[in-house]
Amino acid sequence: MSGINLFEIMDQISGPFSSPLIGPPAENAELAALLCGIIAFYAVIRVIFEPDVMRKLPFLNVFSFSISGIIALMIPHPLGVIAAAAYFIGSTFESNAIASTWAGGVEE
């Protein structure tokens, strides 16, 4: 063997997230994503154990918002922000539809 290291070869191969302008998430982003995960976990626990449906809906929104925050923080690519925005918009529409249905829908 002439000193060829597999890790050196893997470092030279470009991947979907390899760019000189885009680096891996910093420690601050990981800490913020961990905080979003803790908030999401709390929201899920409240949604599971809350008996009143109308009181579950705000926690469902919090869960959706924290997941979109995790997506935006952990994907180190400009398309990660687009994916997070798409998830955020879709979950907002879903939450609004659920709330509108439980409130009685559109009155004619």
Q: What is the pLDDT of residue 81?
A: 81
pLDDT digits (tens, 9 = 90+) for 23-81: 555 667 778 888 889 999 999 999 999 998 778 878 888 888 888 888 888 877 778 88
Asked if the model's pLDDT at residue 6 lies above 60, the reply is no
**Burial (CB count <10 Å: 0-12, 13-18, 19+), residue 38:** exposed
Could you give the C-alpha distances from 107 to 97, 100, 104, in angstroms and in order?
Answer: 14, 11, 8
Rounded to two decimals, the pTM is 0.63
Q: Which residue has the higher pLDDT, 59 or 16?
A: 59
Q: Nearest CA to 48 among 59, 37, 38, 39?
A: 59
